Structure 1
């Protein structure tokens, strides 16, 4: 940034245009520095979010495999009691019920999505802010 304005001890003064030029230059520099800082922070956050998403993806795959092998174990265990065909049918029906319940809950959650109602309401007011008193009559 530039040095702050210090009056000249010899009594010379700068014009208003020069002073405004310095102020606008300082503000421009400040904005550029703030944008660079925001870029750096967002880049770091995005990298961390990517790593976290990768970990959640790996956890999902591991959870799926655990659930699959537990289902196979249940099918095999029930197969000793009633035969493989009936035990496989029971395990499939259990998973069908789980899928139906999750689908209904997911549908309900999606139907409740409202988007950004406050932002939409605020944006509707923006054109009114630019109207002059003559336009509002």
Structure 2
């Protein structure tokens, strides 16, 4: 048996949207533009929320690192006091403190000299190899243009 009952096309049914091929191009472009705008806005809101969450975590992590730095500094001070106390057993306290202070001063000086050397090695703060490479490229282009 053949089914003789046929439904009307979607465009002719009341209350239904016309088929994609039946809509004017301007309407399709407008709808696509609106959907694209909505999509971009949604993605921007998502990115903003994600960056806000990451910013909070970075802030909390930075605060914890700062706290760890303070605790590390206090620990270093306690270690220095321990070294002085240990040396104070065979020596007078003033001599033990003077020895520990001298060792710390030498370590400070050596660290400062190493830092100075690194900073001088970084000067000038320009990408010199890139500048030289660009100059060589420009010279070669000029040379090939005059051939």
- Category of TM-score, reference length = shorter chain: 0.5 to 0.7
User: Once the two structures are superposed, what CA deviation does each residue of 1:64-122 show, in whole Å capped at 9, x if it has no partner?
Assistant: 1111111112112212323222221211122223323433444427954999x7xxxxx
Q: Which residue of 1 aligns with 2:107?
A: 98
8 Å CA contact retained: 1:7, 1:13: no
| Structure 2 portions without partners, runs of 5+ | 1-15, 128-147
In 2: Cα distance, 1:77 partner to 1:84 partner? 10
Q: Which residue of 2 aligns with 1:122?
A: none
Larger radius of gyration: 2
Moved more, 84-93 or 105-114: 105-114
In 2: Cα distance, 1:36 partner to 1:111 partner? 45
In 2: Cα distance, 1:96 partner to 1:74 partner? 15
User: Once the two structures are superposed, what CA deviation does each residue of 1:27-70 show, in whole Å capped at 9, x if it has no partner?
Assistant: 11111111111111111111111221122122112211111111
Please state if 1:54 is matched with 2:69.
Answer: no
Q: Which residue of 1 aligns with 2:73?
A: 64
User: Could you say which structure has the greater relative contact order, defined with CA pairs below 8 angstroms and 6 or more residues apart?
Assistant: 1
| Structure 1 portions without partners, runs of 5+ | 1-5, 118-137
In 2: Cα distance, 1:83 partner to 1:58 partner? 35
Give the RMSD, CA atoms, in angstroms.
3.0
Q: Aligned in 2, Cα 1:45/1:29: closer, same or farther, shift over 3 Å?
A: same
Please state if 1:8 is matched with 2:8.
Answer: no
Q: Which residue of 1 aligns with 2:144?
A: none
In 1: Cα distance, 2:84 partner to 2:102 partner? 12
Using the size of structure 1 for normalisation, the TM-score is 0.63
